[in-house]
Chains A and B, each alone.
Chain A
Amino acid sequence: DAGVIQSPRHEVTEMGQEVTLRCKPISGHDYLFWYRQTMMRGLELLIYFNNNVPIDDSGMPEDRFSAKMPNASFSTLKIQPSEPRDSAVYFCASSLRRARAFFGQGTRLTVV
């Protein structure tokens, strides 16, 4: 398996624009997580899914953030409208039941 695949690796966008981050989890995994990493706050869990259903989205900072998982092999994290303080590295991770989560390489988002 190729591991968790995220795209794009880097994204630079202007404030106010919509940003969509994509994730393909490891085949067969039933949990998918979105994390955000910043220098100030470290790694924060934004939302996670179990069997494509959102279980806990309490980490999503604002209504500008939304996440979907239309099927077991794809998830998106959307920010609309984006703001400079959203600049961070966004990680997607997947796991099979016992939470040995495997992480993607991350998407480095810069909002100018």
Chain B
Amino acid sequence: GEDVEQSLFLSVREGDSSVINCTYTDSSSTYLYWYKQEPGAGLQLLTYIFSNMDMKQDQRLTVLLNKKDKHLSLRIADTQTGDSAIYFCAESMEGNYGGSQGNLIFGKGTKLSVKP
């Protein structure tokens, strides 16, 4: 079955690095995503990684994928108070014609609190 799991809470101090972890169960997952949700807002796509990659870096964000352990992490360097939000990990599988099948399976989200 499909399941995506994340820890529910993470608290860090401003300026430190944050690492948010996620595990998934479906080995056929092809795309893995990180979304950010600020209070009262929709989900904003932060970054994504294809399953044939180990790492992706985008400014302060680093995504690491361990496909063998089905473990995905998001590292935020120099965490700021504006990074306080809920971060969702999501997976999707490849569709018949390439690209994604379309539907995303989300974890329950990790609430990141950044203390000044």
Contacts and interface: CB of A to CB of B under 8 A. Distances in A.
A35 B104 CA distance: 10
Nearest to B48: A100
Contacts of A55: 102
Interface string A52-81: 000110000000000000000000000000
Interface stretch (B11-19, B54-62, B106-114): B106-114
Interface string A71-110: 0000000000000000000010101011111111110000
A105 B103 contact: no
B43 interface: yes
A106 B104 CA distance: 17
Given A97-B99, A99-B31, A42 B107 contact: yes
A43 interface: yes
A22 B40 CA distance: 18
Interface residues of A, number: 24
Contact of A45 (B44, B99, B100, B103): B103
B42 A98 contact: no
A42 B101 contact: no
A98 B31 contact: yes
B42 A103 contact: yes
A106 B39 CA distance: 12
A71 to B, nearest CB: 19
Interface of A: 4, 31, 33, 35, 42-43, 45, 48, 50, 55-56, 91, 93, 95, 97-106
27 contacts: A31-B102, A42-B106, A42-B107, A43-B43, A43-B88, A43-B106, A45-B104, A48-B103, A50-B102, A55-B102, A56-B103, A91-B43, A95-B100, A95-B102, A98-B31, A99-B92, A99-B99, A99-B100, A99-B102, A99-B104, A100-B33, A100-B45, A101-B104, A103-B45, A104-B42, A105-B42, A106-B42
